[in-house]
Amino acid sequence: MAPPASCPADAPAPVRRAVVDLGTNSVKLLVGEVSGEQVVPVLELSRQTRLGRDFYPHRRLQPGPVAETAAAVADFHRRARELGAGTVRVIATSAAREAVNPEDLRRAVRAASGLEIEILTGDQEARWGFAGVTSDPHLHDQPLLLLDVGGGSTEFSLGRRRDLRFHHSLALGAVRLWSELAPADPPAAADLARGQRRVREQLEAELAPALRPRLAEWARDAVGLVGTGGTATVLAMMTQGLARFERERVDGCLLSRCQVAEWLERLWSLPLARRRQIPGLPPERADVILTGVLIYDTVMATFGFATLRVTTRSLRYAALTDWPGVAGV
């Protein structure tokens, strides 16, 4: 019997896979149905374990956050298996790759779940992020600068489709910057000014000389700024007053530079207790949201972007689609 028209004979059979992403701020789970380069999310969860707590400046992972992270991996592994995931992959980013004691994390995760960790380089993180985001059909054909503000690093990836023309991982993240600035509660105007100067100087010294000429290559096509990760998601949720994560409302949300700047001003004017009451802002993120939004606002100002589009896709989507090594991305 011939297959129905909706199921072409040459279409790969969907496979259910899972990936657990160990970031500097949180542990994230993605379970998805994978068919070729397409991923249909089945379950996404996030748990803040703050692996980067007390990590800077000595780059040593602390026992408490390591234990919490390993426990989260074990729980997510169990949930993924219950949902029928045939394989569960664990990847780690900034804090793990900079740590002087990554084996402590490896041993803890192995003992708790039996899983092994793959520690990504900054280059891999930027490339995989671009591949994961551009798997979205709405973002596949337009030139874009992907901005992924994490806890310990920020990845910049510029291109269209598989034409990735520039990518760079900057040692600048929401947790790292918050630890460095240690703003007062409520934050002082001097704290904000110091943070803006700090981020602007790093962007101009380490990123702008290479990125600006690449942006100019797309002069005839408007480059869209796309944000992924926790800060971008929270910005979309706060703007819409969402009490909980709603993918269909977060994904594709457009924020103007004015809206981002207004959030920056408002957040930096409030004490922590008041920030924790803002709808759409998870209370456990109410500290590092200050520096996450600061990075987005400064990038938009430095490179002249008028809008920010939020995507819920990420490097986790790439980690599922080209098993196990994301070769050729």
Work out the number of other CB atoms within 10 angstroms of the CB of residue 72.
25
Q: Residue 87's pLDDT is what?
A: 94
pLDDT for the residue 12 = 66
Residue with tokens 């991982």: 169
Q: How far is CA 170 from CA 115, 199, 211, in A?
A: 29, 11, 12
Spatial distance between the Cα atoms of 25 and 297, rounded to a whole number of angstroms: 20
- Rounded to whole angstroms, the Cα distance separating 187 from 270 reads 7
Q: Is residue 299 part of a domain?
A: yes
* Residues 103 and 143 reside in one and the same domain: no
Residue 327, pLDDT score: 43
Global pTM? 0.88
Q: What is the mean pLDDT of each run of 10 residues along the chain (329 residues)?
A: 44 87 95 88 94 92 98 98 96 95 98 97 90 87 93 94 89 96 96 98 98 87 92 98 93 97 98 98 96 98 97 93 50
Domain boundary among 60, 88, 122: 122
Residues 166 and 110 in one domain: no
User: Do the domain assignments include residue 327?
Assistant: no
Q: How far apart are CA 329 and CA 326, in angstroms?
A: 6
Residue 151 shares a structural domain with residue 111: no
Give the total number of structural domains in the chain: 2
Considering only CA atoms, which of 116, 115, 96, 82 is closest in space to residue 49?
96
Please report the pLDDT score of residue 97 as a whole number: 94
Same domain, 305 and 255: yes
Same domain, 35 and 107: yes
Both 79 and 205 in one domain: the answer is: no
Same domain as 287, residue 206: yes
For residue 166, tell me if it sits in a domain. yes
> CB under 8 Å to 19, separation ≥6 — which residues?
29, 30, 88, 89, 90, 91, 316, 319, 320
Q: What is the CATH number of the domain that holds 146?
A: 3.30.420.150
With residue 83 as reference, give the H or E element that holds it: none
Identify the domain containing residue 48 by its residue range.
Answer: 15-122
CATH of the domain at 39: 3.30.420.40
User: What is the model's pLDDT at position 11?
Assistant: 56
Based on the fold, state whether residues 287 and 216 are members of the same structural domain: yes
pLDDT at 312: 94
Same domain, 104 and 143: no
Q: Which residue has the tokens 């003992």?
A: 111
Same domain, 33 and 178: no
Q: Tell me, what's the pLDDT at 137?
A: 84
124 within 8 A of 153, measured Cβ to Cβ: no
Q: Specify if 183 maps to a domain.
A: yes
pLDDT at 10: 58
Cβ proximity of 5 and 11 under 8 Å: no
| Residue 326: inside a domain | no
Same domain, 116 and 142: no
4 assigned to some structural domain: no
- DSSP secondary structure, 88-116, as one string: EEEEE-HHHHH-S-HHHHHHHHHHHHSPP
Q: What are phi and psi of 270, to 5 degrees?
A: -110, 145
Using a 10 angstrom Cβ sphere, with 0-12 exposed, 13-18 middle and 19 or more buried, the burial of residue 4 is exposed
The reply to whether 105 and 178 lie within a common domain is no
User: Does any domain span residue 131?
Assistant: no
Residue 132 lies in a domain: no
